[in-house]
Chain A
Amino acid sequence: MFELSSTLLYIAFVLYLAATVFFAVSITGKKFRDRSGNENNKAGLFGYISALLALITAISYFIIRWMATGHAPVSNMFEYTTALGIAMSLAFVILYPIYKSNYLGLFTMPVVMLIIAYASMFPGEAQPLIPALQSNWLFIHVITTAIGQGILAIGFAAGVLYLVRMIDFTKASKKVKGIEFIMFTLLATIAYVAIGMGFEASGYTATFNYVNEFGEEAQMDYHLPPLVGPNEGELASEQGFSPVVNTPEYIRSNDVNTVLWSIIGGLVLYGGLRFGFRKPVAGLLQPLVRNVNPQTVDEISYRAIAIGFPVFTLGGLIFAMIWAQIAWTRFWGWDPKEVWALITFLFYAAYLHLRLSRGWQGEKSAWLCVIGFALIMFNLIFVNLIIAGLHSYA
């Protein structure tokens, strides 16, 4: 049963890819069809059907994994991140019929794929639940939060769409730098996944003996070739080589190494596109989204936030507080994860209030959607993995 659920997730991934392709065709193929007098471009519909099938398959993955392990698959980084990707596609499937925007599909589906691909870089085996997590509130709280964040993430996709549509790429400006940075981040994530999967498939491991932060001898495994080594690291395996630089003891050097590889990979991808086409990467997309009505996209992103905010508040704060009261004796304890959920909440509250004044609609609002999504990702990745607290899973 467990294997079946993993297979379903692969199938869902392929279907998300199909949806992306269909949405791309629906946009680029339009002129071509127009000439033959056939205005009906079915590709958008196919894209939506693919997205819907992908969602159903992904939810099947979720339910079957739940049955196999006996608990909702939202209890570690792999499971939660995957759930977030699925939730984003759920939000899309609900919002698409309202606005029928294929552009939104083109910008949402790749983000969904990227999130799920990123999730797959974490250990995916079934893990038992520690006592604190053994509660129905686990799934009530986490699933609601994931759905809320998924809807908010649509605001991000629409925001990026808005920016790509509206920014003037002919002149160098801060805005161009900003959107290019977003593109670079997305490309670096792709690079991270690709490099990680490549070396994993080849079974690469380099092992170092090193001295850890407590001054003890220890061993550390690298799954990517070591660009930087651990403190006083000595290569202990056949694979690998001795890097030029060793990091200080308080840094987890294999993680830093992975980040370095991702940045380099991202730079290669970005540089290839940037200098291959001699245009800003987001500028390459701009001709595609020419016909988008910016007013509509702005409204979509705003509605996504307006719909997602209550759901996120319910799951990420209210249900979280109820559970904390039951499991940890107090509904609020200023644990880093709690604080960052509060920050996300405050941020979107500020967004909603800023939108009350007209000057903050459109472009500024789109930037805020991007920052909001960055906060969600920060809370997911950085707070979980680096700022250790009661919540750290990994």
Chain B
Amino acid sequence: MNKVTCECGHKNPYGTYLCESCGKPLKDEGKLANMRYEGVARRSQTYQKSIVDKIWNFFSSVKVGIWIIVLLLVTSSLGTLFPQEMYIPPGEDPSLYYAQEYGILGQLYYDLGFHNLYSSWWYMLLIAALGISLVIASLDRFVPLYRALKNQRVTRHTAFMKKQRVYGMKENSEALDIKALSTSLKERKYNVREEDGNLLAEKGRFARWGPYVNHIGLIIFLIGGMLRFFPGMYLDDYVWIREGETEVISGTEGEYFVQNNQFLVELYDEEDNEIFQEALMREGSPVVSNYQTDATLFKRSTEGSIGSETELEKVKDHSIRVNEPLTFEGISLYQVDYRLNELSTFTFGVEIEEDGEVQALEEVVFEVDLNDPQMYYEFDNGYQIEIIEYFPNFNIDESGEPTTLNRVPDNPRIIFELYPPDADPEEDTGEISLIGVQVNEPLNEDHDHTLRMLDVEFVDVTGLTIRRDHTLPIIIAGGIIFMIGLTQGSYWFHRRIWIQQKDGQLYVAGHANKNWHALKRDIEYLREKHDLPETVDQADEEVKEKDQVNEGGRDKNV
């Protein structure tokens, strides 16, 4: 590619706006110089031939970057029109739900896949495009910008000075006291460089790296988010534990166990909370103040020989509450759900009818644990009872067969076979009956005995989410770097002041990447102490010219 040679002799890459050495504008870009990236040529402006160049140039364009951001923004908003699939009521069939609930629009929403918008391939593609664009745009600019800022020369071409936004010039009557001037600038924390009676004062250059740092942070964040989809990085499981029970924690290879000692739900009490009384009354229904599982974490003991009973060693007690998960070794257990008063045990007795009189057999009383029933019961007086079938959550399926929906004892039914002392279980058929809550049906004939439910016990069940996320450290690192870069670029500003003496003229020019106000105040401060030309903001001049055009029209109306 051809180099562009400036009148100062410096050879600039093709596409340069301002000579890298003296700053003379090489392209006419109107009244003010284009100071973005110091007017240097970026790769995207230099190479435009091959496919790689074209792709590079596409993604390095801010215009394209903005389009990607805007597309993400618009499509993201579409996903909030109706709930995402994960937020529709559990058990609903999405293929029916959206049409039912939201009519034709809902059906369309579902057909377009918007009910899972944020995991759709094209949304992922947009995010990937954002990431690629971030990387390329940053690389494209960082290197040349770094070079240009590092190699800045103090003495600039007068055309460069004239095209700065803040600019002033006057006849140089007496020689300028460069020493004093640079002291004043240093007082304002400027770095000052001097060359042949010319000055370059610079401050806050590091703010220029802010965008690059924040883009790096974003990229790391996006990479972290992507890693979620690799196996082993992300564990999301769920466990129900009844009070008093212990469950293994998945993802720990059977090493850790958690026991639910107690689950409780607490409500706000109108009497105790005078200040909330009005709100509680208006609410009408009780307001929950706390969900809590008092849990104990156990670890399988490493001692004890292989094959022996598993020994559990207590690690710690913790009350798991909504904002207080139980955390150990990168795994957290969260309080997310509960069931109160789940059936846990039935106690049965047997009645016998003799001579028209009903009598309870006191020796034959037994408990059935509905979560883990014992299947056979034998009594001293010779009675034997067997459970031949147990349905924790009884249901009749489509073919009319009795079955169970799941292992949760929501609607338990038990089929018992009872053998009186004189019967032989091996040979005889006992008295068979089906028993559940409010259900007691004999299933064969000639019953002398009746099984009676004497007592029912309930238990509270807690639902815990088990979560381990190995991507978190990366996400956190990305977030922190992003915030550092954002702060660096937003709360610090790069300001430069050039002071130059040439052919009996004194020039002052200033540039800020943002916060011109502060730059002007700095120059104002210098002018109070030193004999400097008055500066104007050349952008203001542009506005004034425009205003004059408007002015006439407006006056008529005042």
Contacts and interface: CB of A to CB of B under 8 A. Distances in A.
Given A295-B539, A331-B475, A346 B73 contact: yes
Given A299-B517, A310-B483, A350-B69, A170 B556 contact: yes
B87 A295 contact: no
A303 B493 CA distance: 11
Interface stretch (B277-285, B297-305, B349-357, B414-422): B277-285
Interface stretch (B18-26, B252-260, B437-445, B484-492): B484-492
A347 B469 CA distance: 29
A31 interface: no
B320 to A, nearest CB: 11
A137 B324 CA distance: 12
Interface string B66-81: 1001101100110110
A329 B77 contact: no
Contact of B336 (A329, A343, A346): A329
A128 B487 contact: no
Given A299-B517, A336-B80, A353-B65, A125 B537 contact: no
B334 to A, nearest CB: 5
A313 B486 contact: yes
B553 interface: yes
A354 B490 contact: no
B325 interface: yes
A11 B537 CA distance: 43
A347 B73 CA distance: 7
A52 B280 CA distance: 36
Interface string A117-137: 000000101111111101101
B118 A310 contact: no
A218 interface: no
B289 interface: yes
Given A170-B553, A279-B557, A387-B80, A132 B514 contact: no
B306 interface: no
A128 B269 CA distance: 10
A118 to B, nearest CB: 20
B479 A98 contact: no
A326 interface: yes
Nearest to B479: A318
A69 interface: yes
A130 B288 contact: yes
Given A343-B77, A356-B62, A128 B279 contact: yes
B46 interface: no
B73 A353 contact: no
A93 B263 CA distance: 50
B525 to A, nearest CB: 15
Contacts of B483: 310, 313-314, 318
Contacts of B279: 123, 125-128
Interface string B477-518: 001001100110011000000000000000000000011110
A276 to B, nearest CB: 16
Contacts of A206: none
B514 A303 contact: yes
Contacts of A335: 87
Contacts of A98: 517
Contact of A342 (B76, B276, B323, B334): B76
A25 B143 CA distance: 53
B554 interface: yes
Contacts of B184: none
Interface in A280-309: 283, 286-287, 293-296, 299, 302-303, 306-307, 309
Interface in A54-89: 68-69
Interface in A129-161: 129-132, 134-135, 137
Given A132-B323, A307-B490, A318-B483, A296 B558 contact: no
Nearest to B480: A318
A331 B472 CA distance: 9
B555 to A, nearest CB: 10
Contacts of B472: 325, 331
A383 interface: yes
Interface residues of A, number: 66
Contacts of A204: none
Given A307-B491, A346-B72, A334 B553 contact: no
A131 B321 contact: yes
Given A128-B280, A318-B479, A134 B323 contact: yes
B275 A69 contact: yes
A130 B291 CA distance: 10
B283 to A, nearest CB: 8
B319 interface: no
Nearest to B537: A295
Contacts of A339: 76-77, 79-80
Interface residues of B, number: 63
A131 B332 contact: no
B514 A310 contact: no
Contacts of B482: 313
B477 to A, nearest CB: 13
B322 A343 contact: no
A99 interface: yes
A230 B72 CA distance: 38
Contact of B557 (A131, A170, A313, A331): A170
Contacts of B66: 350, 353-354
Interface in B239-284: 268, 273, 275-276, 278-280, 282
Contact of A306 (B282, B332, B490): B490
Given A131-B321, A135-B323, A346-B76, A329 B554 contact: no
A346 B69 contact: yes
A108 B487 CA distance: 25
Interface in B104-121: 118
Interface string B198-234: 0000000000000000000000000000000000000
Contacts of A327: 322-323
B287 interface: yes
Nearest to A346: B73
A389 B83 CA distance: 8
B69 A127 contact: no
A2 interface: yes
Nearest to A135: B323
A173 interface: no
B514 A295 contact: no
Residue among B80, B280, B537, B553 with most chain A CB within 10 A: B80
B303 to A, nearest CB: 34
B290 interface: yes
A295 B516 CA distance: 10
Given A131-B323, A295-B537, A350-B70, A2 B275 contact: yes
A350 B73 contact: yes
A112 interface: no
Given A343-B76, A350-B69, 8 more contacts: A123-B279, A125-B279, A130-B289, A132-B322, A295-B540, A299-B517, A346-B72, A356-B36
Interface of B: 36, 62, 65-66, 69-70, 72-73, 76-77, 79-80, 83-84, 86-87, 118, 268, 273, 275-276, 278-280, 282, 287-291, 321-323, 325, 332, 334, 336, 465, 467, 469, 472, 475, 479, 482-483, 486-487, 490-491, 514-517, 537, 539-540, 543, 550, 553-554, 556-558
> What are the nearest 3 A-B pairs in CB distance?
A131-B322, A135-B323, A336-B80
28 contacts: A68-B275, A123-B282, A126-B276, A128-B276, A128-B280, A130-B289, A131-B288, A134-B322, A135-B323, A168-B554, A170-B554, A293-B540, A294-B543, A307-B491, A310-B487, A313-B482, A314-B483, A321-B479, A326-B325, A330-B467, A333-B86, A334-B118, A336-B80, A339-B80, A346-B69, A346-B76, A353-B62, A357-B62
